[in-house]
Amino acid sequence: MIPKELLRRIRRIEITTSRVVDELLAGQYHSAFKGMGMEFEEVREYQIGDDVRRIDWNVSARAGRPHVKNFREERELTVMLVVDMSGSQRFGSGDQMKRDLVAEVCATLAFSAIKNNDNVGLICFTDHVEKFVPPRKGPRHVLRVIRELLAFEPSGTGTDIDAALEYLTRIQKRKCVAFLVSDFEDDGWHRAAQVARRRHDLIAVDIHDPRERELPDVGLVELEDNETGELVLVDTGSARVRREVAAMAARKAEDRHQWMRSNRIDQLALDTDQPFVETLSQFFKSREARRDR
């Protein structure tokens, strides 16, 4: 039996995200992601403006008039959500934790996919891959994905992005759209990301909380690392300490952004204290604009 509180959370996310998708994102998602190829549809008579390279010379010769081949995009995609469920996702300084934002973003992506008749799969990982839901279609399947994201209790606390991406490339033989959803508090994942990028359309969804970049002035505080359990005493009353924390966070974010850009991996940066729908919409629009060039 699914606990009532979990059912309420699933229902709330379903209502919220499906409405957003219906009203705003479904069409943008469709335009943002290419199909896996082109499929022959028909031969028809040439019209002014048609690409002459598509002329079917055999049919044209038989008919005595120029005809062109028409193709349509093979639309059906597979979308894989590769989701970081490590201990650092249980952090949040406002109304929601990073893990809550992860669930809402993934639900929105999943509903966008099924509205376009695409398949959706899920990989949950910590310091190892802990859950795999094979890609399928349909609203019931998306609700299962949401349930897994909300109810999943990981056995590990650390982060191994490298293992998650290697698992993706091993089990997903055909090209897919892979959303890697993480705070990227990990090292040594770059080679695996390069391999995944060559095989799939890899998109990094970077989830963070504002307090990871800027500490408030509240004096001496003891902070615990949710992944290692390490305790650290920090003097937030020191302006120098606050500047160093902010500078280190900014440097890590910029290094990550530059590496993603140089390796042609699209990046979507989201914060727990900011609405994500408009940012996601702009991301879809930027992808569409690149397709049209």
| Triad 225, 230, 232: Cα angle to 5° | 85
pLDDT tens figures, 208-255: 999 999 999 999 999 888 888 899 999 999 999 999 999 999 999 999
Q: Tell me, what's the pLDDT at 76?
A: 79
Q: Tell me, what's the pLDDT at 293?
A: 59
DSSP string, 184-221: ---SS-HHHHHHHHHHSEEEEEEEE-GGGT-----SEE
- Cα 16 from Cα 20, distance rounded (Å): 6
Rounded to two decimals, the pTM is 0.84
Nearest to 86 by CA among 205, 223, 227: 227
The answer to whether the beta carbons of residues 134 and 119 sit under 8 Å apart is no
Nearest to 96 by CA among 157, 16, 202: 16
pLDDT tens figures, 175-197: 999 999 999 999 989 999 999 99
pLDDT tens figures, 100-138: 999 999 999 999 999 989 999 999 999 999 999 999 999
Ordered by where they begin, the domains of the chain are: 4-28+78-291 (3.40.50.410), 39-72 (no CATH)
Residue 160 predicted with pLDDT over 70: yes
DSSP 226: T
* DSSP β-ladder status, 119-125 and 129-136: antiparallel
* DSSP β-ladder status, 67-74 and 37-45: antiparallel
pLDDT tens figures, 257-277: 999 999 999 999 999 999 999
Q: 86-125 burial, b for 16+ CB within 10 Å, e for fewer?
A: bbbbebbeeeebbbbbbbbbbbbbbbbbbbbebbbbbbbb
Mean pLDDT of all residues belonging to the chain: 91
pLDDT range class, residue 46, cuts 50, 70, 90: confident
